[in-house]
Amino acid sequence: MARLHGGMRRTGRELCLNIVGVAAIGLLVFPVWWALCVALENDPNFYATSPDLLPVHLIWQNVNVALQQVGGDIVTSLIVSASAAVIGVVIAVPTAYALKRFRVRYSSIVVLVVLLSQMVPGISLSLAFYSQFRRLDLLGSYPGLILADSTYAVPLMVVLIRAYMVSLPDELFEAARVDGAGEVRCLWSVVAPMSFPGIVTAALFGFLGAWGDFVFALTLNSGSSVQPVTLGLFDFQNRYQISWGPIMATVIVAAIPAGVILAVAQRWVRAGLRAGALNG
């Protein structure tokens, strides 16, 4: 009897958890689902309240309009974000190596400054970038936006790659040195390959940071032909307030890189989010 009672309680608890879980996560996911439904709606002048919530018809018309409108911007975003991530790798890998390998007093200053620089608001940087880029004729250019966007990638990637390298055993570094390898060779042919998963994860985060940038795009590249997809979406929304179908299609397209990364490497993403928050 007691066992039966316990079993029923367990079933009740199980049922309850599933219902609450689905309700909570459903609410969390719903806006994205909604955007997807509006994007795949067939009425081009859609402005009603209820699109089909099961977009079985898969109308690609809005996606086509969106791609015509911001297709070039997506390419721009890809170029800019990938370049920012590359800058991040170039700066962060030697930094992380040095922070792990050499116990100099300067290291702790570097760690502190990198952590602080992660917290600087973009708008504070953009005033200086605007006035200097204006003089250097970098406003509205690829190099300008890439350099500005690299400020998302570099500090975060230093933190993440350092967290990864710290976890590698000291013996690895020692062994390479005993074998007579110089520091550069030790980094290049032992530590960097060993850290490859960490470097890739960090680069993905750097890429996504730059991909989501809006403040630099708006202040430095508004009105130019070099527009990332965030700025394209912003302009699109301001210009064609009514055509939500194509706008939501753009929203979905803008979410694709992170979506792919999340689908392929959810474990790494979670670990990265956590390491980014808790390392210093």
Partner 1 sequence: MDSLLTTASPPGHDTAPAGLVPSHGRRSNMRSTISPLRRLRAKVVPALFLAPVTLYVLFFFAYPLAFGVVISVENYGFSALVHGSGPFVGLANYREALSDPVTIAALRNTVVFTVSSVFFQVTLGLALALLLNQTFFLSNFLRRLVLVPWLLPLVATGTIFAQLFGSQNSLVNSVLQRLHLVTQPIPWLIQFNWAMVALVIVNIWAGLPFNTIVFYAGLQDLDATLFEASRVDGANAWQRFRHLTMPLLRPVTSIVLLLGIIGTVKVFDLVMVITQGGPDNETQLLSTWAYSVAFTNFNFGEAAAIGNILLIICMVAAAIYIRRLRKERAHLGRSV
Q: Which residue stretch of 1-9, 23-31, 55-63, 64-72 sits at the interface with partner 1 (rule: CB under 8 A)?
A: 23-31
Q: CB of 88: closest distance to partner 1 in angstroms?
A: 10
What are the C-alpha distances in Å from 147 to residues 59, 64, 81, 93?
A: 39, 31, 10, 18
CB of 278 to partner 1, least distance (A): 5
Q: Which of 250, 218, 260, 256 is nearest to 68 (CA)?
A: 250
When asked if residue 12 is in the footprint of partner 1 (CB under 8 A), the reply is no
Size of the site for partner 1 (CB under 8 A): 108
Q: For residues 159-178, which are near partner 1 according to CB under 8 A?
A: 160, 163-164, 166-167, 170-171, 174
Asked if 66 and 47 count as a contact pair (C-beta separation under 8 A), the reply is: no
Residues 44-63 that bind partner 1 (CB under 8 A): 47-50
Whole-angstrom distance, CA of residue 41 vs CA of residue 245: 7
Q: Within positions 88 to 117, which residues make up the interface with partner 1, using CB under 8 A?
A: 90-92, 94-95, 97-98, 101-104, 106-107, 110, 112-117
Tokens 């966007």, located at residue: 149
59 vs 98 by CB, closer to partner 1? 98
Tell me: does residue 212 bind partner 1 (CB under 8 A). yes
- Shortest CA distance to 238 belongs to which of 69, 52, 48, 34? 69
User: CB of residue 244 vs partner 1: minimum separation in angstroms?
Assistant: 6
Taking CB under 8 A as the criterion, the residue among 6, 7, 22, 193 binding partner 1 is 22
CA-to-CA dists, residue 42 to 38, 51, 67, 245, 253, angstroms = 9, 9, 16, 8, 17
